[in-house]
Chains A and B, each alone.
Chain A
Amino acid sequence: MCLAIPGKIKSIEMQYDGRVRMAKVLFGGITKEASLEMLPDADIDDYVLVHVGVAISKVNEDEAQKTFKYLEEIGELGDLTDVDEYLPKTN
């Protein structure tokens, strides 16, 4: 039910007497329409998360990389703690 999928905005047009911004969003090879009323800043080529015909979030590219770097980051933090233990103690 809460399934939502990221896709790329191909085009945007105003519908319903020019009152609603609707996007054509490309998911892999499938194009579907989505309302942009909850994402007024979304533009062509943006990746947006779509749920039941409504775009609800814009994908943040910088944050998207963090899952791939998380293990390295916590590893480095761990190393730092180890290094601390070997440093000469100062009083």
Chain B
Amino acid sequence: MKYMSEYRDPDLAKKYLEEIKNTVSRPWSIMEVCGGQTHSLVKNGIIEMLPDSVTMIHGPGCPVCVTPLNLIDKAIYLAEEKDVILCSFGDMLRVPGSQKSLLEAKAQGADVRILYSPLEAVKIAEDNPDKEVVFFAVGFETTAPANALSVVHAHRRGVKNYSILASHVLVPPAIKAVIDDEESKIDGFLAAGHVCTIMGNTEYHPLSAEYKVPIVVTGFEPLDVLQGILMVIRQLEQSKSIVENQYARIVREDGNPDAQKVIDEVFEVRNQMWRGIGEIPDSGYAVREKYADFDATKKYNVTIEEAPENPDCISGQIMKGIKKPFECSQFGKTCKPTNPLGAPMVSSEGACAAYYHFSGLVEA
């Protein structure tokens, strides 16, 4: 496919690896923020091919992984007890709640549906006027415009039986939290290309300047990731710390202003709980009061008791880059994609799932 397959050229990948080896003079730790990049690194064997002095640290960029357990329990409650049609992206339905996952609730008779787009959920609501439809709207800035757009569509078309259960997380406050964490030592960042497609690069300049870290906005194909790593290392070796854009074929400096407008129409920034990490100030979106009728948390004033996390799961340390998946005593033993103890083993962007499927550490 154009603009994808040509960024997988193995010969040029070798040249990039060679240049990285020639450029590095001492050890560096680089965090790729986005789970999509983690998968590209592990799946394509890039981690093993990098010089030993370059350590890739996997970041918290998996929205499914950081969606609070309590919210998953709420979604399951809505599907089972409130007789709603509960829709979300496939990954979200597989994540275990405290008792079960949404897919298990579906198997037990709840009307739970996997959708490709939140816009489809509005159509389902229109087609089922006697039922309530809730879209479990998770995601980073990349997905926020589509989720917001579904609310705008429903509002415009007078669809009253549609609402979203929003759990939105934002990247820049998470990068700040990761740098501020005393245990983490990260020299440079690959920022998430698709998040910046929406928001642009401007939020990253003050971060890079304040913390003196290189931040390179990076794509997802092997050549993108390798170029991003090389750009970070070149900055580090030259004692520079600026924001660069490796993914300029997609990302504009000011992002997509039309998408930002839709986000701002429907959402406002709030403090957000990140599963495994804790609350991060100003790191999420709440539905604005104007659209309260489309906010499932207000429509169904449900309180569910906080359930404890599985004590054997170290997902918080994994997502802050403090530990690697294979350093967890449960990895590949009690915790597998078919029987996950935590979300990073479930999601297609979770670091544990990436290592389980592609690292060769676990025999299939």
A residues sitting closer than 8 Å to B (CB atoms) are 1-8, 16, 19-20, 27-28, 32, 35, 37-40, 47, 49, 51-54, 56-57, 59-61, 63-64, 66-68, 70-71, 74
Chain B positions 297-346 with a Cβ under 8 Å from a chain A Cβ: none
Q: Which residue of A lies closest to B142 (CB)?
A: A2
CA distance A47 to B4 in the complex (A): 12
> With an 8 A cutoff between CB atoms, is B176 at the interface?
no
- What B residues does A39 contact at CB under 8 A? 256, 258
> With an 8 A cutoff between CB atoms, is B26 at the interface?
no
> With an 8 A cutoff between CB atoms, is B290 at the interface?
no
Q: Which residue of B lies closest to A27 (CB)?
A: B1
- What B residues does A74 contact at CB under 8 A? 19, 234
CB distance from A48 to the nearest CB of B (A): 10
- What B residues does A7 contact at CB under 8 A? 1
- What A residues does B91 contact at CB under 8 A? 1
Number of A-B contacts (CB under 8 A): 131
Q: Is the interface of A mostly helix, strand, loop or mixed?
A: mixed
B residues sitting closer than 8 Å to A (CB atoms) are 1-4, 6-7, 12, 15-16, 19, 34-36, 61-64, 89, 91, 116-120, 138-140, 142-143, 145-146, 149, 153, 156-157, 192, 194-195, 197-198, 223-224, 227, 230, 234, 246, 248-252, 256, 258-259, 262, 347-349
Task: List 8 A-B residue pairs with CB atoms under 8 Å apart, sorted by A's residue number.
Answer: A1-B349, A2-B63, A2-B194, A40-B258, A49-B194, A56-B145, A59-B3, A67-B224
Q: Are B3 and A2 in contact (CB under 8 A)?
A: no
Of B4, B146, B157, B234, the most chain A CB neighbours within 10 A belong to: B146
Other A-B contacts than A5-B4, A6-B1, 6 sampled, CB-CB below 8 A, are: A2-B140, A3-B194, A35-B119, A51-B146, A53-B119, A57-B252
Q: Are A63 and B12 in contact (CB under 8 A)?
A: no
- What B residues does A47 contact at CB under 8 A? 2-3
Do A6 and B2 contact each other (CB < 8 Å), given the known contacts A39-B258, A52-B89, A67-B224? Answer: yes
Instruction: List 6 A-B pairs, minimum CB-CB distance, nearest first.
Output: A53-B117, A64-B249, A63-B248, A63-B249, A6-B3, A2-B142
CB distance from A33 to the nearest CB of B (A): 9
CB distance from A78 to the nearest CB of B (A): 10
CB distance from A49 to the nearest CB of B (A): 6
Q: Are A60 and B249 in contact (CB under 8 A)?
A: yes
CA distance A27 to B198 in the complex (A): 21
CA distance A83 to B146 in the complex (A): 52
Q: Are A71 and B15 in contact (CB under 8 A)?
A: yes
Do A59 and B89 contact each other (CB < 8 Å), given the known contacts A2-B139, A4-B142? Answer: no
Q: Are A1 and B35 in contact (CB under 8 A)?
A: yes
Q: Are A19 and B156 in contact (CB under 8 A)?
A: yes
Q: Which residue of A lies closest to B90 (CB)?
A: A1
CA distance A79 to B108 in the complex (A): 67
Q: Are A2 and B143 in contact (CB under 8 A)?
A: yes
- What A residues does B156 contact at CB under 8 A? 19
Q: Are B259 and A56 in contact (CB under 8 A)?
A: yes
Q: Are B3 and A64 in contact (CB under 8 A)?
A: yes
Q: Are A71 and B16 in contact (CB under 8 A)?
A: yes
- What A residues does B2 contact at CB under 8 A? 6, 8, 47
Q: Are B12 and A56 in contact (CB under 8 A)?
A: no
CB distance from A18 to the nearest CB of B (A): 12
- What A residues does B262 contact at CB under 8 A? 37-38
Q: Which residue of A lies closest to B39 (CB)?
A: A3
Q: Which residue of A lies closest to B245 (CB)?
A: A63
The residue from A27, A38, A53, A68 contacting B258, defined by CB atoms under 8 A apart: A38
- What A residues does B63 contact at CB under 8 A? 1-2
CB distance from A61 to the nearest CB of B (A): 8
Q: Are A35 and B157 in contact (CB under 8 A)?
A: no
Of B35, B118, B194, B347, the most chain A CB neighbours within 10 A belong to: B194
Q: Are A71 and B19 in contact (CB under 8 A)?
A: yes
CA distance A64 to B250 in the complex (A): 8
